[in-house]
Structures are given as C-alpha cells and as structure tokens.
Amino acid sequence: MESGAGDGGIEKPKRFRLGERNVEVVENIDQWPGADYCYFKVRGDDDNLYILRLDQVRGEWELTMFQSPGLLP
C-alpha cells in the first residue's frame, strides 16, 4: 500500500497491490471514520470500486470490499 497525507493530515490511499498487480487509485470517492479505523471508497485505474480500511493504531491497510462494474446486472 502506498499512501500520502491528504486534507487534514489523514493518510489517503494512492496505490495498492491486489494479487500480482498494482492498482492505482484514480478517484477518492468518499471517506468516513470508524472506532479505530478510517474507511475509503476509491476507484482504481481498472475502473473497479474498492473500500479500503486503515487501522490507525497499527498503521495497516485492509481491503474490505471490491466491486467490478462488469459484474453488475
């Protein structure tokens, strides 16, 4: 995961690894706080949507949701 400080000094995702490939974040759609987490809804350069979670205490990222526009009815 590659991230950088965004507005307000909160880390925002820029690039992450999914399996054997890198996904560039082309759009930060939304973000919201959790108890000890911060969630980010992003669009990747593959046009898929992802929700990534940052554990602010550990400084670790996790993929919590993936949606491919090609899979929608």
Q: What is the predicted pLDDT for the residue at 71?
A: 59
Per residue in 17-46, pLDDT (tens digit) is 988 999 999 999 999 988 889 999 999 999
d(CA 63, CA 25): 13
Q: Between the CA of residue 41 and those of 10, 24, 28, 59, what are the distances in Å?
A: 14, 13, 6, 18
Other beta carbons within 10 Å of 54: 23
Predicted TM-score (pTM) of the model is: 0.81
